[in-house]
Structure 1
């Protein structure tokens, strides 16, 4: 065994560090009681001085060897202290009748400093054998008295071993629980960090999707309107340029309102002063004015939207915005139809156009993925496919009362 080997059924380094303060107090108290009782029992001053001198050696050994070995986790130092402890006990037993009082200190410290159960048993047996030998020599007992002395010593030995094994088992259980608690706390800290990181990523994704669905589309409208205004200006049509600049101003104001709502974590401005149907109607009129694509808003059923949860209304409005943005960018359509209906406690929004339809190898971009994620989070579904008669149909279905 190396000088720093603390392996075994119980990691003594952790046990020692946790229990050291209590053992310091217990050791000091027991040694003080032993010093008083044994010095009073000494038959002469010389014997009393010898008794106190041996105890002083024990205390110095505990502080400089035993305790330091505990702090370093050095089993060679702790073993050296156990040897010193046994020697001092034998000396005290030889000097005074009350010397066996130190057995209370010795047996307890043997089990405290032992790194294995077997070590504790062997050291207890060795101390008991030495104690019997010293008593036999000191008292000059005949061999016939040996069984009685050995029987008494064995009884004490058995008690100390049973007590030591029980204390060791309790210590092991305590250390195991402490280790489990430390691991649990570490896992909890790791989970907290993971949840925090996940929350940060989820919030980033949410903000990115909001920006894509609102500000990015607004800026796209501004760019397209500015390009149109420049073309009208080259044609010498100032009235058309004025109309486009007015539209740019309106889009910019809407974008500013969306940005403020996003920063303040409010709902979409379009839903603050009206229903979802009103917001869809305003969205359609603005889209129509900007693109000259005719937008029909149909079947706005008040019964369907009256109990609609605010979260669901936001999902449907964002879906309509993204669907119209895709029509603007990809469809080449002349007509678009927005239809909001309700049935069986579910609300359905359909956006259909008469454009060129879906490509054969459709790859979902940020917009479609965002629509699908919003619909899934709201307990609904998203369907993207061909519209009857050509073009594209986007259908979002949600529970009227929100996610279930």
Structure 2
């Protein structure tokens, strides 16, 4: 049979571990068929395929070397494992500390935005309450304008009951119309401002709700991260979550996260400034309208006082003329009576003169003479007739003058009654009603 050669080699030991270098040997294992084999007839029962002594030593040497190599590799692996365990432990601790630090920094960021949102919400609550107070002032001021408007319209209606010629478009009526128009314009302005305040309150509440939702998310996130920051290796409520390291598709970035809260606060600040400006505008509107109404009220009252003085003066003058007219009527009646008595007094002389002429007309014949006595009697009768005629004419004139005086008296009395009625309306009705005019505080919405 052909001889088989077996080459036994050993891999060199790693440089990190000092090992003994064994010589490399080559052994030829031959079958017991060579010239030195023991296969003979005498040893036929013992001529089996056995290893040689050299092979036995070589096998033992191989086992020793393999055991040494395995121990060396195990020692090296153990040393590397210990070193790797220490390194991974240190790395794990550093990583966990860094993660805890990052979570802590994140908690500070969350706390900052949470505090900003909470401050903004509190400011919104305060600002909205102040704006609601201003809206309440507007509503009270709007209700307060109903009294001045009713007073102005009532004054105008009362003054419509004046009698001619006092039914004139005087300064009082002009001022009352201006007052009514001013009140209507103020009411429209207050209504528009109330609607603006209502819209601003709605916007304030909407932005407050947005900030509250963001704040609520921040609180929940803060609680979660705070709980995560308290986790340690000794915590008992920790579990494995293999798929927790994957990012959610809807997850935000730190930039978009901060920008979201920043934009919410920016819009909230903008609406808050709009609310503050609206409150200042409402305050100015209420003060200006209250002042305008009081100034117009004073103008109307001044016009009433001036008009009452004019009517009082006119009434006094009319009464003065009435007094003189009544006295003149009395004198005129006495004069007429005197004239009639004078006419009556002329009747006797006229009868005497006519009787004389009648008797002298009875003279006989030539004694019926146109003597001086005859002419004088005739002239006397003519003079008496002329006097009676003149007196009668004067009586007629006096009676006409008396009738004129009576008409004038009636006119004066009517005028005085008209003035008294006008004064009653302006003083007793209008001015008395205007005493209920609201105060400037009530018109400004404070009461």
How does the TM-score come out when normalised to structure 2? 0.28
The structure with the larger Rg is 2
Structure with the higher fraction of residues in strand conformation: 1
Say which structure is richer in helix. 2
